Structure 1
Amino acid sequence: MPTYDYECEACGHALEVFQGINDPMLKKCPECKKLKLKRQFGTGAAIVFKGSGFYQTDYRSEGYKKAAAADSKSEKSSSSGSKEKSSDAKPAKAKKKTGGDS
Structure 2
Amino acid sequence: MPTYDYICDACGHEFEAFEPITSTAQNVCPACKEVKLRRKIGPGAAILFKGSGFYQTDYRSDSYKKAAKADSTSSASSTGGGDSSKPSSSPPASSSNSSSGSSNGTT
Give the TM-score normalised by structure 1. 0.44
Q: Which has the higher contact order (CA 8 A, sep 6+)?
A: 1
The structure with the larger Rg is 2
Give the TM-score normalised by structure 2. 0.42
